[in-house]
Amino acid sequence: MGYIIKEFIDAPSVYACLECGSHLARRDDVISRTFQGRLGRAYLTETVVNQQLGKKEDRLLMTGLHTVCDLHCRVCNAIIGWRYVRAHDRSQQYKEGRYILEQSRIYSIDQPAKQESDDHVSSGAASCEVPADMPSPLQT
Ligand SMILES: [Zn+2]
């Protein structure tokens, strides 16, 4: 009962839940670091482990209407971001099935395995969920 299998990511650099330290995503899986979450800067990523999805709902973001689920840490249940289920605007559909991680809810862990510092941000996914009244100095 209530037994949780916690996954560990074997990668040089991972993001973990700020509350409980559970691994969430590989840093290499981050597609863009220029997104805007509800709490500030956020990362778009391909996969998240140790997670659990909340109820589906439609949310109007800067880039249009999206169907999203809140993303919770499965271990401590903290909200860590959301998952894009459906983008109603065709130009935004690359986000479908991908996850937003709120930067303020996670921290990065460097695991001393192999040295491979590669901090580049892949281009092509450059759109931001930035409120219109807010300039976006989103530089890493
Ligand atoms: Zn957690």
Distances (CA, A) of 30 to 23, 61, 98, 133, 140: 14, 20, 10, 26, 13
Average pLDDT along the chain: 86
Distance from residue 73's CA to the centre of ligand 1 (Å): 5
At 16-63, the pLDDT tens digits run: 999 999 999 999 999 999 999 999 999 999 999 999 999 999 999 989
Looking at this protein, which amino acid is placed at residue 98? R
CB atoms within 10 A of CB 124: 7
* Angle, vertex CA 5, rays to CA 32 and CA 50, nearest 5: 15
List the end-to-end C-alpha distance of the chain, in Å, as a whole number: 42
Dist. CA 32 → ligand 1 center (Å): 22
> 106: CA distance to ligand 1 center in Å?
9
Going by C-beta distance under 8 Å and a sequence separation of 6 or more, which residues neighbour residue 122? 31, 32
pTM of the model: 0.77
Neighbours of ion ligand 1 (CB under 5 A): 17, 19-20, 22, 73, 75-76, 78
Structure tokens belonging to residue 24: 């969430």
Please state which CATH class domain 13-110 belongs to.
mainly beta
For 86, the token pair is 């459906």
- What pLDDT score does 126 carry? 45
Ligand 1 center–CA 23 separation, angstroms: 8
pLDDT digits (tens, 9 = 90+) for 2-29: 677 899 999 999 999 999 999 999 999 9
SS3 call for 101? strand
Query: What is the domain partition of the chain in residue ranges?
Result: 13-110
Query: 124 C-alpha to center of ligand 1: Å?
Result: 30
The band of 112, judged by pLDDT with boundaries at 50, 70 and 90, is confident
Q: 27 is written with which tokens?
A: 């840093």
Beta-carbon contacts of residue 94 (< 8 Å; ≥ 6 apart): 87, 125
